[in-house]
Structure 1
Amino acid sequence: MKPPVTARQKKILTRYLALSPDPDDTFTYDELMGYLFGIAITPDVILPGEWMDQIFGEEKPVHDSMTQAQEMLGCLMEVYNAFSDASRADTLHLPFNILTLKPGQYDAVFAWVFGFNVALSLRPDIWEPEDMSALPEDLTYEVMSSLMIIEGLIDPEVCTAYFEGLPGDILREAFGDFDAEDEDLPSRHLAILLASLPMAVEKLQEFARLTNCKRLDGISKKSNLIPFRSARTGRNAPCPGNGGKKSKKCCGKDDSSKANITFTSEGPAKKGQLIRGRFPGPAKITAFPGPAFQLKVSLVGSKPPIWRRILVPGTTSLADLHAIIQACMGWTDSHLHHFAIRGELYAIPDEEDEWYSSDKRDERDFTLDTLGQRLSSSFLYVYDMGDYWEHRITVEQIVPPAESPAHAVLLTGRRACPPEDSGGIASFQDSLKILADAGHEEYRATRTWFGAGFRAEHFDREDIASINLRLKRL
């Protein structure tokens, strides 16, 4: 369970990180270990010039001499190659025994998870692809659940939102010692997620191996990562959880709920592997006598990804699903739309609509239940035929009646919806680049158009709670 790092290498890397002029904007040693772990298992070549950008802040470390610089950079590359070699040999494992952690060791785990997540964020198209239909159904669910566990450990507020309203018997089935009346529930929730971390990491590694085999189309998986021996660092990228900040200033800042985590001596019950993704949001859930669909709605082409995860009763019609998506994404329902499912289009009939044709089916006549297998693993929702905002709706899992809500519930999501009439996804992405450069000649006009309050990275628990109140009234 130990990482492929020697005591000498740890000492050199710790000194290397300490050279940063801005420690608050630089990885800690544990964050770096999680980061290199994530880089190593990612089934794609990530050049050092890209991944080294994330380690330090805007100001790079100042070395005392060329010899020192060569020693420290050389050590970093040695460790990177050791992680890569261990990943190819299937000997890279989570470097913590969660069940034997002592109180003073929790911070190291949270830091490791943060670094790991930053590494995954470098390749969102791999780790959260728009279409996972080529994967085995069970693995798809487990990958989604594993990513949710990582999210919950990084952002305690998201963790709490996931567990609110979750029936106690579900938790007791997975973790025999769970007490729904525990006064310190946030700490208990984090303990459950921590106990799930080893299996979550293993499932992500399994997914990476399978993805790598498919990507290489028969080529030996040993060629998936190429060791590099030298590189130059660049600018530091923002925290993926809250745009522009590192762990200490954002998701990873100290949280009192992390200080009181305890495990029983027996550890989790034998079924305690993964909490499989059924994590309701802030709205209270009332059981509905029928299955529900857990859907992930992703705005196609958005980078970083803009998405929402929603739990929807199976009796929901496509017309109602349209209203739910509008509310959850943040659109204003000011334009036409349609669903595309297995080559057929579904919309509201309108004889005066030049976009409407007789080959479209009436979306009011079809529910998620009646469409059933036709939904496959994903389908499309298009809004605004001019800007053409295309959303991929992934069916992550079918939730049994005992856990189904009486109305749609927004579980979580990431990043703000584009403003209406902003020109489509390509134009929106270009606008984000302009907004990131205050010196750009079009910055003032673009900021005026988007509004002073627009923040692309913003989507928090208050937004989720507000949307869930709206969903309850639909």
Structure 2
Amino acid sequence: MASDPGAATSILQLRIALSGLSPPVWRRVLVPEHLTLGQLHNVIQVVMGWADEHLHTFSIRGRRYGEAHEGVLQFSTAANELPLTAFRLREHEGFVYVYDFNAWWRHEIRVERRRLRQHPGRLPRCVAGCGPCPPEDMGGIESYMEARDERSEYEFLDWLESLREEPIVLEDLRAEVDGWLTWLDRRFDRQIVNDRLREIEG
């Protein structure tokens, strides 16, 4: 998927924002315009932090695009066959990506800029972002927000304080500590994201 660093490439700067969350969760990525929707799906999975365990669909100008699966919703066109160039997306134009039809994680994608650059470096590339992605199988925004509040830093401090009330057996706390770390150590790290993007095979 990575573009040839020496070739002239039409580049799209996309802002991908996960709808309905506060504080906001978003990423800014540079992608070659010849990327297919199937490849863009892979990029979104990496930059947002999903694990590609569920179905997805794109909605562009009133039509849905995604991979067809036996026995489930059928889409208008196979995503893997459509490059972004087919849509001739304009600057500031937006479209939607939905991941996990049960949780309905809706991503608003906007074309911030289009540019032609002789030496763009390795693409795709994440250039900015904010906020951790919800874990898989959270059941949607409301369930995630409730779980996040229950595992806030303040609740963690209360939990630590409660440990002073009785003798501690560290081995018995291992699972609970792992659970806290899952929620507390979830910062967005652009370097890690770009390292994972380099692993995507084109």
Q: TM-score range by the shorter chain?
A: 0.7 to 0.9
Once superposed, which parts of structure 1, at least 4 consecutive aligned residues long, lie more than 4 Å away?
Answer: 447-450
| TM alignment of 1:128-139, pairs within 5 A | none
Q: Is the 8 A contact 1:313 1:405 kept in 2?
A: no
Give the structure with the larger helix fraction: 1
After superposition, where does 1:166-205 map in structure 2 within 5 Å? Answer: none
- What is the aligned partner in structure 2 of residue 30 from structure 1? none
Residue 184 (structure 2) pairs with residue 468 (structure 1) = no
Partner of 2:80, secondary structure, is helix
Please name the residue that 2:66 is paired with: 347
Alpha-carbon offset, residue 399 of structure 1:
2.0
Q: How many residues align?
A: 178
The within-5 A match list for 1:255-274 is none
Partner of 1:372 in structure 2? 88
Report the CA distance between 1:430 and its aligned residue. Answer: 2.0
Q: How far apart are 1:375 and its partner, in Å? A: 8.4
Q: Which residue of 449, 452, 467 maps to 2:180?
A: 452
Contact conserved, 1:287 with 1:406, CA < 8 A, in 2?
no
Cα drift, residue 308 of structure 1: 0.8
* Runs of 5+ consecutive residues of structure 2 not aligned to the other structure: 160-174
1:341/1:375 contact within 8 Å kept = no
Q: Distance in 1 between matches of 2:179 and 2:76?
A: 37
Partner of 1:276: none
How far apart are 1:382 and its partner, in Å?
Answer: 0.5
Change (3 A) 1:323 1:329: same
Name the CA shift for 1:471/1:368 in 2 (closer, same or farther; >3 Å): same
Over residues 203-254 of structure 1, what are the superposed CA-to-partner deviations in whole Å (9 max), with x where a residue is unaligned? xxxxxxxxxxxxxxxxxxxxxxxxxxxxxxxxxxxxxxxxxxxxxxxxxxxx
| Percent identical residues | 33
Question: Does 2:146 correspond to 1:430?
Answer: yes
Kindly report which structure 2 residues correspond to 1:229-268, keeping only aligned pairs within 5 A, or say none. Answer: none
Match of 2:108 in 1: 392
Counterpart-to-counterpart distance in 1, 2:112 and 2:87: 16
Q: CA RMSD in A?
A: 2.6
TM-score scaled by length of structure 2? 0.78
Match of 1:289 in 2: 8
Amino acid at match of 2:192: S
Deviation at 1:348, TM superposition (A): 0.9
CA distance 1:430–1:406, shift in 2 (3 Å): same
- Asked whether the 8 Å contact 2:20–2:141 carries over to 1, the reply is yes
Greater relative contact order: 1 or 2 (C-alpha under 8 angstroms, separation 6 or more)?
Answer: 2
Unmatched 5+ residue regions in structure 1? 1-284, 441-446
Q: Matched residue of 1:326: which SS?
A: helix
Structure 1 counterpart SS, 2:39 = helix
Do 2:92 and 2:112's aligned partners in 1 also have CA atoms closer than 8 Å? no
Change in Cα spacing, 1:343 to 1:464, as seen in structure 2 (3 Å) is same
Opposite residue 455 of structure 1, the aligned amino acid is L
Cα distance between partner residues in 1 of 2:192 and 2:40: 18
Matched AA of 1:360: S
Q: In 2 relative to 1, CA 409–307 (structure 1 residues): closer, same or farther, beyond 3 Å?
A: same
**Equivalent position to 1:421, from 133, 137, 143:** 137
Q: Match for residue 313 of structure 1?
A: 32
- Alpha-carbon distance in 2 for matches of 1:412, 1:376: 18
Aligned counterparts of 1:406 and 1:448: Cα–Cα separation in 2: 40
TM-score, normalised to structure 1, is 0.35
Q: Is the 8 A contact 1:415 1:458 kept in 2?
A: yes
In the aligned structure 2, how far is the partner of 1:299 from the partner of 1:353? 28
Deviations 1:342-398 (A, max 9, x none): 110010122x142x22x5211112111221137861111111111111111111100
| Match in the other structure for 1:84 | none
Larger Rg: 1
